Amino acid sequence: MPSTCPKCRRVMEEDEICCAQVRYSWRCRSCFKLTTGLAIPYGKCFLCGGDLELIPSRDLGDSMRFQAIRDAVQFELNSFHFYKLARDKARTKAQFDVLERLYEAELDHLHELEEKYHAHLDREVVELSSNEQALLDNWLFRGIHVTEESGIADLYQAALEMERRTRDHFQKLAAALPAGLEKDLCGELAAEEEEHVAMLETELELLG
């Protein structure tokens, strides 16, 4: 029977989807982890095991008007530039390899933010050289130092501390907001950082 493609709204003769890139969004009712994909999810949240709910398409308009999204983008940019700076100062191949992986992970996180929240950035902003001292003075990196003596475990501990600080920021912001879209965004972004924390903790454990 005739159907309408949920993406382009084209009416077709058969019950089918004409746009291969139709995407769905769903969120965990427990930890608030937001996920997007090409198929409706089956099962539980992979992060905490909670129940999932489909999120209807939402138009955020200019997403950068939300403090939560502005903060998330800025934190990812700061971390991206921090690892880039540290990587370029690496003294050993082991240091370089870990910092390169963390640098690439932050770039992936930035792209994921852009995709989920349509917070599109000019490539010039991503590649902009940061003021080194201003970056190191940022609250996110206080007390965190990468030195010649830093081992792999030290680098992962530093990365963990930054991710935890970011997660805590969004959790505190969410707790202070009334129910609504911005509070939901803070919860989603806190869950995003919790996933990053879990990944780094797993990698640190594997180091023994």
Tens of pLDDT, residues 86-102: 888 888 888 889 889 99
Locate the domains of the chain by residue range: 1-57, 63-206
pLDDT value for 49: 82
* CA dist list (Å): 59 to 29, 55, 65, 68, 122: 21, 12, 13, 16, 21
The phi-psi region of residue 200 (left if phi > 0; otherwise alpha if psi is between -120 and 50; otherwise beta) is alpha
* CA distances in angstroms from 134 to 126, 129, 137, listed in the order given: 17, 12, 5
DSSP state of 75: H
Q: Please state which CATH number belongs to domain 63-206.
A: 1.20.1260
Q: DSSP for 163-206? A: HHHHHHHHHHHHHHSPSSHHHHHHHHHHHHHHHHHHHHHHHHHH
The pLDDT tens digits for 99-155 are 899 989 988 888 888 888 877 776 665 665 556 666 666 767 777 777 777 788 888
Sheet with 24-28: list strands edge to edge.
Answer: 34-37, 24-28, 52-55
**Nearest Cα residue to 39 out of 15, 20, 18, 56:** 20
Strands 3-4 and 11-12: antiparallel
pLDDT reading at 187 higher than 90 = yes
Residue 81 has pLDDT above 90, yes or no: no
The pLDDT of residue 207 is: 79
State the chain's maximal CA–CA distance in angstroms: 68
93 token code pair: 């191949």
pTM: 0.72
